Amino acid sequence: MGLKVYVDGKLVSKDDAKISVFDHGLLYGDGVFEGIRTYDGLIFKLKKHIDRLYQSAHSIMLEIPMSKKGLIEAVKQTLRANRLKNAYIRLIVTRGVGDLGLDPRRCQKPSIIIITDKIALYSEKFYKQGMEIITVPTRRNIPEALNPQIKSLNYLNNILAKIEAVNAGAEEAIMLNSEGYVAECTGDNLFIVKRATLLTPPVYLGSLRGITRDVIFDLAKAIKIPVREEVLTRHDLFNADECFLTGTAAEAIPVVKIDGRKIGDGKPGKITLKLIRKFHRLTKVNGERY
């Protein structure tokens, strides 16, 4: 059976899943999205992802033509149609078909697209041995220009940073904000451990308030690991005891070297590994059945 994709109320084959060339999502990146994971038939943090999608849409004055309940059922329907128990879900809402001008009023009806498939963002060896990452010249968009809490379809800022990482032979890149402070990576949030305390950049510096990021906060607090947001520089990262990244697709992955500097003893740290184990256990029991 071929992969089925949900497009505006219909499940169609992957090859037949099409949008108009006049869709403003294609023409201008005018739309929003969410990435969601399932684990053994459980959709992880589904309500939080749906809530964030509607918040992103509200901020760009895009009215999603479906209730939250209806959208949740459409996600489940797509998963069932593809018989996937462990999957990555890409939920997309575009402004819809308009003309070649910018005016969103020309778009009469938003489009909803749901893709369910498998994803492997990084090689398994990086989860066991840790990653080496770099800082790149491309700076994170300032929040006053494009608020990072809006998960829009325009990811060119992140893609340019990813290109710089790939050209340098790295899997992931740290992006600084306009003032030179650490914001986030191209697709992941960043944590460090210093003196047994978990630290991550505050979102006002230009990072997304990631759902996996919030889960790590909760897990750390539950096992009495101090955790807080803190303004971080590259110097702070270089001298951290541990480092790891989080994201829906990446889950949680250790970092052992930044810009050629060894982090801690150059191996995934004890607190990092403990939190990763806690996270994996949570995904097996916390979720919505479909």
pLDDT in tens, 205-246: 999 999 999 999 999 999 999 999 999 999 999 999 999 999
Whether residues 149 and 73 fall in one domain? no
Is 290 part of a structural domain of the chain? no
Residue 73 domain-assigned? yes
β-strands 42-43, 31-39 pairing: antiparallel
Q: How confident is the model at residue 119 (pLDDT cuts 50, 70, 90)?
A: confident
Four-point Cα dihedral 70, 76, 81, 86, nearest 10: 160
CB atoms closer than 10 angstroms to residue 2: 9
Can you give the pLDDT at residue 134? 98
pLDDT surpassing 90 at residue 120: no
Q: Is residue 242 domain-resident?
A: yes
Give the model confidence (pLDDT) of 7-50 as tens digits: 999 999 999 999 999 999 999 999 999 999 999 999 999 999 99
Percent of the chain with pLDDT over 90: 98
- The pLDDT value recorded for residue 285 is 93
In the prediction, which pLDDT does 86 show? 95
Q: What is the pLDDT of residue 223?
A: 96
Are the C-beta atoms of residues 156 and 117 closer than 8 Å to each other?
A: no
Are 159 and 233 in a shared domain? yes
* Same domain as 11, residue 56: yes
Between CA 212 and CA 189 the distance in angstroms is 9
Distance of CA 156 to the CA centre of its chain: 15
We report the CATH number of the domain holding residue 244 as 3.20.10.10
User: In 3-state terms, what secondary structure has residue 209?
Assistant: coil
The whole domain housing 87 covers: 4-117
Q: What is the mean pLDDT of residues 103-128?
A: 95
Q: What is the pTM of this model?
A: 0.95
Q: Looking at the predicted structure, is the pLDDT value of residue 1 above 90?
A: no
- Would you say residue 217 lies in a domain? yes
Statement to judge: residues 108 and 140 lie in one domain: no
Q: Which pLDDT score, from 0 to 100, does residue 38 have?
A: 97
Strands (E), the chain: 4-7, 10-13, 31-39, 42-43, 87-94, 111-117, 131-135, 173-176, 182-185, 189-194, 197-200, 227-229, 242-247, 251-258, 261-262, 288-289
- Interval 235-281: pLDDT, tens: 999 999 999 999 999 999 999 999 999 999 999 999 999 999 999 99
pLDDT score, position 219: 98
Instruction: Kindly state whether residue 230 falls inside one of the protein's structural domains.
Output: yes
Residue 157 has pLDDT above 90, yes or no: yes
Same domain, 128 and 49: no
45 is catalytic: no
Task: Specify whether the CB–CB gap between 22 and 4 falls below 8 A.
Answer: no
Q: Which amino acid is at 168?
A: A
Q: How many domains does the structure of the chain reveal?
A: 2
Identify the CATH number of the domain in which residue 101 sits. Answer: 3.30.470.10
pLDDT mean across residues, the chain? 97
pLDDT given at position 274: 98
Residue 146 neighbours by CB distance under 10 Å: 15
Q: Do 147 and 266 belong to one domain? A: yes
| Catalytic residue chosen out of the listed positions 68, 151, 194, 262 | 151
Does the residue 137 lie in any domain? yes
**239 domain residue, yes or no:** yes
pLDDT in tens, 48-96: 999 999 999 999 999 999 999 999 999 999 999 999 999 999 999 999 9
